[in-house]
Amino acid sequence: MSFFKNITNKSWERKGIIGGLKPEGAFDTSPEKVALSFFLVVATVVFSLFTVSYFIRMELPDWQPLTEPAQLWFNTGLLVASSILFQWARTIANSDSPRNIKTAFIGGGVLAILFIVGQLVTWGNLQDAGFYMTSNPANSFYYLLTGVHGIHLLGGLWVWSKSSIRLVSGSEPQEIKLSIELCTLYWHFLLVVWLVLFAILSNT
Amino acid sequence: MAYVPLADRDSEMEMHHPHTWVGKYVWCQDHKVIAIQYGSVAIFTGIVGLVLSLLFRLQLGFPESVSFVDPSFYYQAVTMHGMIMVVYLLTALFLGGFGNYLIPLMCGARDMVFPFMNMLSVWVFLLSVIILMASFFVGGGPTGAGWTLYPPQTSMAGTPGHDMGLVLMLVSLAVFIVAFTMGGLNYVVTVLQYRCRGMTMMRLPLSVWGIFVATILGLFAFPALLVAAVMMLFDTLLGTSFFMPAIIESGQAMDYDGGSPILFQHLFWFFGHPEVYIVALPAFGLVSDVLSCHARKNIFGYRMMVWAIIAIGGLSFIVWAHHMYVSGMNPYFGFFFATTTLIIAVPTALKVYNWVLTLWEGDIRMNVPMYFAIGFIFTFIHGGLTGLFLGNVVIDLPLSDTYFVVAHFHMVMGVSPVLVVFAAIYHWYPKMSGRMYHEGIAKLHFWLTFLGTYAIYLPMHYLGFLGVPRRYYALGTTDFIPQSAQDLNAAITVAALIVGVSQLLFFFNIIWSLRFGEKAGPNPWGAASLEWQTPETPPVHGNWGDSLPTVYRWAYDYSVPGAHEDFIPQNTPESEEPTVQEEHFNPDQDDSLANV
C-alpha cells in the first residue's frame, strides 16, 4: 500500500525534490474524479446510516411490513437501462467516432427521469391504497429511503442537464468527456444503492 | 481523462482576477478572502454564543438578577450556546477559516481545487447561520432542548421552542452540513492533488495534517447528524414516529407511537464524538506548528504526530457510546466503549509528550502565540485527565449529570481549542495583514483569558464532586449544596464576565493593528513552512507570483546544526543551503548567532 509506505517516510532525512511534476501520493486522475469518489463515500455513509436505522426501528413491536408495489420491478428496469445507456455513452466518448453519443447520453438521462416519475407514481398508488407516511414506520421508511435516493438522482440530473445542453448546442464529445465519465460513475453508484435498498425493502 | 501534472497546468490555470470591490470582497473565489469571510461569520456567531453564556451565568451566579432570563430563556440560551460554539464557531473557524487560509499556502497551490464551490460553501454557511439566528425571532423562540436535542423532550410542549425553533435548528444544521461538504471535498482534494512539486504528504506541516484528517472525519460524521436531523424533521413536521415513542403530554396522548429515542442518541453521538476531534485535530496541528516555530526546534516525533492524528481519527468513530452510559446499555457494550475511550488516550498522550519534548531544550521565544500554545498544553492535559475519569462507566454514572462534566468538556474542547485559535491568529496575523499587533495588549489578553478560564472551570470540578447538578435553572436551597457552593457559583460568574469582556482587548488589538500596527515583513517569526515564503505579504490572489514553489525539505528545519540561520525555508534547495563552513565561520563576527 503506497499510503502506508508514504507515511513511514523519514521526511527529515530526505532532502531534494521527491517525485516528478506530480506530487508524490497524489491520485493519477483528475481532481473532479477524486472529489466525486469522496462524495460517493459520503453518500454511502448517509445511505448506510438510514439502513441501520431501518433495521433498528424494524425490531420494535409496532412495525408492520409493507408489501412493496410490483411496479418497483418496472422502475428498477428503467434505472438499469439508464445506467446501461450511460455506460454506452462513456464507451463512445472514449472511442474515436462520436456516433450515437447524443442518443446514449440524453437517453440515459431521460430514462432516469422516467424512473423518478415511476417512483412518484408508486407514492401516489400507496397513498390511494391508504398507506400513508405516518400510518406505520415501515411506510415512513419507504417514503424516506426512496425520497433520499430520488434527491440524489435529481442532483445527478442537474449536472446531466448542463452537459446535455452543451452537447446539443454543438460541443464536441471530447469536451464533455470528463462530465460523461463522472455522470456514468454516479449513475452506477445510484443503481447499486437502489438495488440494495430495493432488496432490503422487499425482503423485510 | 489523463492526469495533467499540476506544474504543467500552471500557465493555463484560469485566475479570475476581480476588478470591483464586490468581486474582490463579496463574490470572491480567492481562498484567503473566503477564509476571512468564514472566520468573520464564525466569530460573529461565536460572540452571540458568548453573550448567551454570560446571560445564563448571571442567572446561575446571581439568581433572578436579570429579569428576562426566565427558565425558558435559560434553556434556550444554554442550547444555542452549545450548538453555536461546537458547530458554528469551532468547526467553521478551524476548517472553513484556517483550513481555507492555510491549505493552499502550505501545500504550495494557487487556490483550492474548486474555487467556485468554495465560494458557494461560505455563502451557504452564512445562510445556515441566518436560519439559526432567525429562530430567535419566531414564535416560541429558539429550541431549548439542550444542544443534544434528545427526543422525546425536544418535541414536547414543556420544552421552549419545541416547534418552529426546533425546525429552524434542524434545517440550519442540514444547510450547514451541505456547506461543510462542499468545503470539505475541496480541502481534501486540494491536499491530495494540488500539492506543489516536491511536497510529499510527509513534508506537509502538521497543521495541514490536522485539518486534512479532521475534514475526512467531518465528511464521514456529519452524515449521521444529517440523517438524524432529517428523521427528526419528519417526526416534527409530518408526524412520523422514527424517534418519538408513545407518550402522554399534559394528560393527552400524543400522536406518536413506538419510535426509538435511543436510536437518535446513537446517531447523534456517532456524529457527536468525531465532532470533538473535528475540533481538536486542527487545533493539535496548528499548535504543533506554533510550538515548533517559537521553540526554534523541529517538532518532536513528526511521524508519530501524523500517525497519532490518523489513529485518533480512526478511533474517534468507535467511542461514541461513552456519551450514553446513563442511557442504559448492555454492560459488555459499556465495557467495550470504556476500553476504546481509554485507548484513544494513548495517541493523545503521545501528542502531549511530543509537544513538551519539542519545548525541551528549545530556544524558546516567548512571543504571544507561544503563550497561548503553552497555555493550551496546560488546559488540554487538565481536560484530558478528567476525561480518563469520565471514560469509566462506574465513575461516569454519578458524575454524568453534574458540573464535573461541564468542567471537563469546557477544558478539553472549549478552552483548549479557543486558546489554539488565539495562538494561530496571533501567529499568522502578520502574514494575513502584513502588520504586527500590539504585543502588550495581546499578552494582557492572554493572562486574562488563561487565568480567567481557570477561575471559571477549576471550581466547577469541585461543584461536580459535591453533586451540584448541571442543566438546572436555579439550585435553590438543598442540604447537599452548601452556601459555599452558591458563593463559588457567584465567583464563577464574575470570572466569566471578566473573561468575556476581556475579549474586547483582542478585537480592539486586531482591528487597531490593521491600520496602526508596525509593518511585520514577510517572515517575522523566521518560520520554515511554505506559507511564509510567498513573494508578497499579505499574499495576493494566486499566491505565488509567476511560478509555483518547489519544495526540497520538510517544514521543520529549525536550528539545523551548521546552518547559517536557525531556520531553512522549505523551498531552499540543498545546494543553496547556506552553511557556516562555507562562509568561514567565525563566532565572534557572526551577528546572527550572537542572539542564539
pLDDT of B583? 46
Q: pLDDT tens digits for B182-237?
A: 999 999 999 999 999 999 999 999 999 999 999 999 999 999 999 999 999 999 99
Strands (E), B239-334: 248-249, 252-253
Q: Do B1 and A29 touch (CB under 8 A)?
A: yes
Confidence (pTM): 0.94
Span B582-588, average pLDDT: 46
Out of A15, A23, A140, name the one closest to residue B197 (CB). A23
Looking at beta carbons, which residues of chain B come within 8 Å of A17?
Answer: 197-198, 550-552
CB contact A166 to B (< 8 Å): no
pLDDT of B562? 87
CB contact A137 to B (< 8 Å): yes
Q: What whole-number distance in Å separates Cα of residue B407 and Cα of residue B465?
A: 11
Q: Indicate the pLDDT class of residue B586, thresholds 50, 70 and 90.
A: very low
Looking at beta carbons, which residues of chain A come within 8 Å of B554?
Answer: 11-12
Looking at beta carbons, which residues of chain A come within 8 Å of B302?
Answer: 11-12
Beta bridge partners of B197: B550
Q: Indicate the pLDDT class of residue B16, thresholds 50, 70 and 90.
A: low
Looking at beta carbons, which residues of chain A come within 8 Å of B267?
Answer: 49, 53
At B536, is the secondary structure helix, strand, or coil? coil
Q: pLDDT tens digits for B519-572?
A: 999 999 999 999 999 999 899 999 998 899 999 999 999 999 888 899 999 999
In order of A103, A166, A172, B324, the CA distances from A106 in angstroms are 6, 11, 15, 50
Q: Is A5 left (phi over 0), alpha (psi -120 to 50) or beta?
A: alpha
DSSP-assigned letter for residue B436: P
Q: Indicate the pLDDT class of residue B590, thresholds 50, 70 and 90.
A: very low
Q: What distance separates the 2 farthest-apart alpha carbons in chain A?
A: 72
Q: What whole-number distance in Å separates Cα of residue A62 and Cα of residue A67?
A: 16
pLDDT of B579? 60
Interface A–B counts its CB contacts (< 8 A) at 163
Q: Which of the two residues, B4 and B471, has the higher pLDDT score? A: B471
Q: pLDDT tens digits for B295-350?
A: 999 999 999 999 999 999 999 999 999 999 999 888 899 999 999 999 999 999 99
Interface of A with B in 22-81 (CB under 8 A): 22-31, 33-35, 38-39, 41-42, 45-46, 49-50, 53, 56-57, 60-63
- Among chain B residues, the shortest Cα distance to A144 is held by B231
Quickly count helices (H) and strands (E) in chain A. 6, 0
Nearest CA-CA distance, residue B320 and chain A, Å: 15
Burial class (CB in 10 A: 0-12, 13-18, 19+), B139: exposed
Span B168-176, average pLDDT: 97
For residue B496, the Cα-to-chain-centroid distance in whole angstroms is 20
The amino acid sitting at B467 is: G
pLDDT of B316? 95
Looking at beta carbons, which residues of chain A come within 8 Å of B5?
Answer: 20-22
Q: Answer yes or no: is pLDDT of B4 > 70.
A: no
Q: pLDDT tens digits for A14-66?
A: 788 877 667 777 888 899 999 999 999 999 999 999 999 999 999 999 999 98
Span B390-403, average pLDDT: 94
pLDDT of B577? 65
Looking at beta carbons, which residues of chain B come within 8 Å of A24?
Answer: 200-201
Q: What percent of chain B has pLDDT over 90?
A: 84
Q: Answer yes or no: is pLDDT of A99 > 50.
A: yes
Q: Indicate the pLDDT class of residue B578, thresholds 50, 70 and 90.
A: low
pLDDT of B404? 97
Mean pLDDT, all residues of chain B: 91
pLDDT of B593? 42
Which residue out of A134, A142, A148, A175 would a mutagenesis test of the B interface target, given it has the greatest number of B Cβ atoms within 10 Å?
Answer: A134
Residue B249 phi, psi dihedral angles, 5° rounding: -120, 120
Q: Answer yes or no: is pLDDT of B584 > 70.
A: no
ipTM at complex level: 0.94
B537-548 in b/e form (b: 16+ CB < 10 A) is bebebebbeeeb
- Find the helix or strand (DSSP H, E) in which B587 lies: none
Looking at beta carbons, which residues of chain B come within 8 Å of A144?
Answer: 230-231, 234
Out of B114, B186, B242, name the one closest to residue A140 (CB). B242
Mean pLDDT check: name the lowest of B84-98, B119-133, B331-345, B571-585: B571-585
Looking at beta carbons, which residues of chain A come within 8 Å of B195?
Answer: 23, 26
pLDDT of A172? 79
- Among chain A residues, the shortest Cα distance to B261 is held by A57
Span A72-89, average pLDDT: 96
Q: Indicate the pLDDT class of residue B15, thresholds 50, 70 and 90.
A: low
Q: Answer yes or no: is pLDDT of B367 > 60.
A: yes
Mean pLDDT check: name the lowest of A70-79, A127-136, B183-192: A127-136
Out of B189, B234, B257, name the one closest to residue A34 (CB). B189
Domains of chain A: 31-203 (1.20.120.80)
Q: Indicate the pLDDT class of residue B14, thresholds 50, 70 and 90.
A: low
Cβ contact B164:B141 at 8 Å: no
- Among chain B residues, the shortest Cα distance to A132 is held by B240
Cβ contact B450:B375 at 8 Å: yes
Out of B1, B240, B260, name the one closest to residue A60 (CB). B260
Span B160-177, average pLDDT: 96
pLDDT of A95? 87
Q: Do A137 and B185 touch (CB under 8 A)?
A: no
pLDDT of A155? 96
Q: Answer yes or no: is pLDDT of A146 > 90.
A: yes
Q: Which of the two residues, B480 and B83, has the higher pLDDT score? A: B83
Q: pLDDT tens digits for B491-526?
A: 999 999 999 999 999 999 999 999 999 999 999 999
Q: Do A15 and B574 touch (CB under 8 A)?
A: yes
